[in-house]
Structure 1
Amino acid sequence: MSQFNTQQYDIERPTGHCAFSSRQLQPGESYYATLVELTPEEMEQLAKTDKTKSALGLKRLDVSAEIWDAGNRPNNLFGYWKTVVPEPNAKKRQFVDDTVLMDMLKKLALTDDADKLAFRYVLALILMRKRLLRYDSSTKQEMEFEDGTTELQEVWTLTPKLNVKKGPMSKWDEDSKLELFDPKLDAEKIEQVTIQLGDILNADF
């Protein structure tokens, strides 16, 4: 059976309060949304209560701008982006920069965890849809997982934009090729991960 027949993906949605001060963040207030990597101990503890929430080994912590600017950072910081608390009943819009998505994709390049590989795959699909990644070719490679099992997987070669901030109009960075394992997720799994990614980033994809 494929290593990618994984459980429900679940990461916390925006918390609405500062992780350091516990203060409620107010509408219109700037803050930093962060993703932190769970320690093995935290993952083990979380799995005892809700295994689905430990699937990706990441959790979200929000930090007020004043606390962040004072130099406070969560431990095991994986990624972050600056955003604003929406007004009540405000129409949902994109709050996360595309550079954040690209940075997350690159940071997960060396992972061999099946859940994170699936997460990375969906990130790549989103960036391809935004025309910030280009599919070039694919090959077959044998991949070894954390549990010692191996499986022949399709690996894509992708080309990113030279300047993601310029969007699709930027030139392709032909000197920076990326490799991506195709976990062969079905449409339901892709939709599931996309929804969870949208929840954690507070964005529509």
Structure 2
Amino acid sequence: MADWEIKKPLGKCVCDDQEFEVGQEYFSALLETEEGFERRDYCVECWERDRPDAYCFWKTRMADEKDKNKKIFIDDEMLMAFFERLGEETEQEKLNFRFVLTLILMQKRKLKYQSDAVVDGQEVWYMKVAGQGRTVKVVNPHLSEDQIEELSGQMGQILQVDL
């Protein structure tokens, strides 16, 4: 399993090094690098001018100093978009990441387990997408509890949320 170095948000734009003011909207993007996923923050102007080819992104607001310890809310639609984007991946690290995201989305009742089967030597779960009536496939990589916890922590650090 890959260990990714996840940088904490610095409170400034990655393009022009301009610090965000309290209440200022900015974009956070999850980019795919050779080392894995990396979070980068962009002011609105730089985002509109130099929008990167992000794996996924969301708009947020700079918190007040007294609110710094509070976690930022990431909506379920963003998590589902991230889940969908990972659907075509075949690299083991991304399969692991998607599986943990599946567990989170099951807990949020956005995905519901229907059945499983062995396909090409891999256990595949068939999940119903809530409110859409469609089914998606998820490879079960048979992660240990420690691996699931580690990946959940990494995902939480990347997205800056409690998972």
Alignment TM-score, normalising by the size of structure 2: 0.91
* Alignment RMSD (CA, Å): 1.6
Residue 146 of structure 1 is matched in structure 2 by none
Which residue matches 2:55? Answer: 78
State the Cα deviation string for residues 9-29 of structure 1 (Å, max 9, x = none): 443332321111111222322
1:136 deviation in Å? 0.6
Question: CA separation of 1:139/1:102 partners in 2, compared to 1, >3 Å: closer, same or farther?
Answer: same
Task: Tell me the distance in 2 between the aligned counterparts of 1:190 and 1:10.
Answer: 17
Q: Aligned residue for 1:148? A: none
Q: 1:153 aligns with which of 122, 132, 139?
A: 122
Which residue matches 1:11? 6
Give distance in 2, aligned partners of 1:103 and 1:180: 15
Change (3 A) 1:10 1:122: farther
Q: Please give the secondary structure, in 1, of the residue aligned with 2:49.
A: coil
How many residues align? The count is 162
Query: Is 1:185 equivalent to 2:143 in the alignment?
Result: yes
For the Cα contact (< 8 Å) 2:14–2:42, is it kept in 1?
yes
Match status 1:123 vs 2:95? no
2:79 aligned partner: 101
User: Which of residues 121, 125, 134 is equivalent to 2:112?
Assistant: 134
Of structures 1 and 2, the one scoring higher in RCO (CA 8 A, sep 6+) is: 1
Paired amino acid for 1:127: L
Letter in 1 for 2:124: V
2:31 and 2:37 in contact (8 A); partners too: yes
Moved more, 125-134 or 93-102: 93-102
CA distance in 1, matches of 2:15, 2:24: 16
CA distance in 1: counterparts of 2:58 and 2:7, whole angstroms: 16
> Could you tell me how far apart the structure 2 residues matched to 1:16 and 1:128 are?
32
Contact 2:25–2:59 (Cα < 8 Å) also in 1: yes
Alpha carbons of 1:122 and 1:60: their partners in 2 closer, same or farther (altered >3 Å)?
A: same
| Gaps in structure 2 of 5+ consecutive residues | none
Contact 1:15–1:61 under 8 Å retained in 2? no
SS of residue paired to 2:161: coil
Structure index of larger Rg: 1
Identity rate, percent:
33
Cα 1:9–1:21, aligned 2, differ >3 Å: closer, same or farther? closer
